[in-house]
Structure formats: structure tokens, C-alpha cells
Amino acid sequence: KKKKHKNKKGVSDVAKAALNKVKKNALTPADNALCRAIKSLKDATRETTDILRLTSTEVLMLTVLSSQGLPVFCDEWSGLVISETIFNEDIESDDFQIYFFAMGGVMEAAAEVWLKIAKTKLQEKLRLLEDNNHHDTATRQKLLEDIAILQKDHDAKISTLEESKKFNQNPQIFARKAVMLLEAVRKNMGPVDLQYAGEKKIRSLNKSENGLGTKILNWFHKEIIRWSKPLGIVDKAGNVLCGTSIGVDMDHLQSHDAAMMTKRDCRTVFIQVAQQSRLRSIFIKNKIERMASELIPKAMKQSTFSDDDWEDRPEWWNSESNA
């Protein structure tokens, strides 16, 4: 029994949810890291060494990847890139998989929201300038400076929407760009400690990387390598190609208005994308019955054993009552 994947299902709903998250200030560590990168130009104290310069489009792409993760690589990888590929309807794990062709639609929808917000902010300042011609010179000058910044941001958001539409039309280019961008983030964040030796060191490493542990980051690095080969983004030595739109020549239009991600922020974003991707891979690999009867109870017990500090968790997250 065969079926075609539903293309771009729920794209508008995803965009609305993203906007609601911003309004409610329900931001994740990766969201906060990307916000810091965007605000970096306004902060004179922001460090400028060992940074990754990103265009508005690349920031949005990382926002989408931080929310959804990377599609989990499999032998039928082409079906995760283009929507024409047919899958078996009886595969339960297919419900947890995501697809590059659908993510392109999500990114375009989010770009439309971004542009709408930028346009509204610009119009508000222009209206203020028009309604307050009688203001003193200093106030007027401040308004003009704000308008110049908002105009530049508005233009960048127009460019982001145009690029997002191209990615949506060509999911293979989107996939290549996403993997290369993640590899650039990984390289800029610094090394990952994988030297497990002794119980104390194991506990320390398992609690590191925002509580995710270093093994998941290593798994995700291998996942990036798995994707890079069929997508054709490896050099002659077999290394994953990486990079952003802003190169050393600084010839991109946004080169001097780029978001700047520090090593710490790169690490935060990479950790979240790795977490989302690994969780997805576990659900894809295991049937719901095994998740409910074996893996989730095991995770709850390990969480209790590790003395995890939870800001919030569902009522059923109680190992004793669940048992």
C-alpha cells in the first residue's frame, strides 16, 4: 500500500505557532542565542573574535532547524529531500520523520511573518516622524536614525523571503545549504570532549553540553557526514564542506550588517539541533509500544538518578506512579 507524502502540510499553522512563541517570549536557548547574534551590531561590547557571520536568511534557517532538527538520514534519503518519492503507508515511524521539501515551505512561511513584522515596525516609525514634525532637532534625528536601521532590516527581510522562496522551489539546494551551515556552526563552536574515563568523568560529560552530554553531539556530527556524501558536499579528502554566505572577501550585501554568532552561541544552537534530531531518530527507530513500555520509563528513572533540575514537566513524568 503506497502513498505520496502530503506536501507542506500545516505550513501556515507552523508559522503562526512560531509567531505566538515570540509573542509569549517562550524562547529556547537556541532562540536566545540567535537573538543575541541579531542584536550583536547594536552592542559595542560584543566580542568580534572567533565569530560566525550570518545573513538574515541563515539566521532564519537555523531558527527552523533548531525547532525541527535535521531530517534523520536513511537509505531512502532522496525521499526526505523531494516530495515526489513514494513511501509505504504502513510504516509507523514515518509519522515522526521530517522532510527538506516541507521545511522549505515552513521557512518561506516564517520569512513572510518576519517581513510583516519588519514592515510594521518601519511604518510605525515613519508615521511617528510624519506626525511629529514639530519635535526638536535631537528627537527628529533619533527618529531618522531608527528609520534608517529599520529600513535596512526591512530590505534584508525582503531578501530573506526571496531566498526562502528559491529554497522552497528547490529542496535539494535547501538541504545542501542546511547541512553546510550546520557544519560551519559545528566547526566554529570548538571541540567536543569524548574522552570518557572513570565514573566521575562519565557523569561530568553526560551532564555537559546543556545537559545533553557529548555523545549526542558526536552522533549528530556523524549524521551530518552521512548527509554530506549523497548531497555531494564533500571535498576530495571526504571532509564535509562548510561555510556561510559571508566569506573572507566580505562582498555580500549584508557583510557589514551581519548577525554575529560567538563560539558559545554556535554551541548552543548546535546542541539544540542535535537534541531535536536525536529524539526524532529514536522515535523513528522504535515502535510506540516500546517507547511507552520501555524507553520512556527508563528515561524517567535515569533523569531521577541524574538529579536533573526541571523547570517544568508533565504530570505523568513520575517514575514511581508510572511503574
Say how far apart CA 92 and CA 65 lie, in whole Å.
Answer: 23
Give the pLDDT of residue 6.
45
Give the pLDDT of residue 129.
85
DSSP 95: G
Taking the chain (323 residues) in runs of 10, the rounded mean pLDDT of each run is 44 53 67 88 59 92 94 91 60 72 94 95 90 75 90 93 96 96 94 62 59 82 96 94 82 77 93 93 81 73 62 62 45
Give the pLDDT of residue 269.
95
* Gyration radius of the chain over CA positions: 22
3-state secondary structure 261-306: ECHHHHHHHHHHHHHHHHHHHHHHHCCHHHHHHHHHHHHHHHHHHC
Q: Is the dihedral of CA 226, 232, 237, 243 positive or negative?
A: negative
Instruction: List, for residues 117-172, the tens digit of each pLDDT value.
Output: 999 999 999 998 887 766 678 888 888 999 998 999 999 999 999 999 999 999 99
Q: Which residue has the cell 528515561?
A: 299
Give the pLDDT of residue 86.
46
Give the pLDDT of residue 14.
54
Strand partners, 139: none
Say how far apart CA 291 and CA 283 lie, in whole Å.
Answer: 7
Phi first, then psi, for residue 249 (nearest 5°) are -75, -15
H/E run at residue 207: helix 199-207
CA 252 to chain centre: 22
Neighbours of 31 (CB within 10 A): 21
Say how far apart CA 215 and CA 212 lie, in whole Å.
Answer: 8
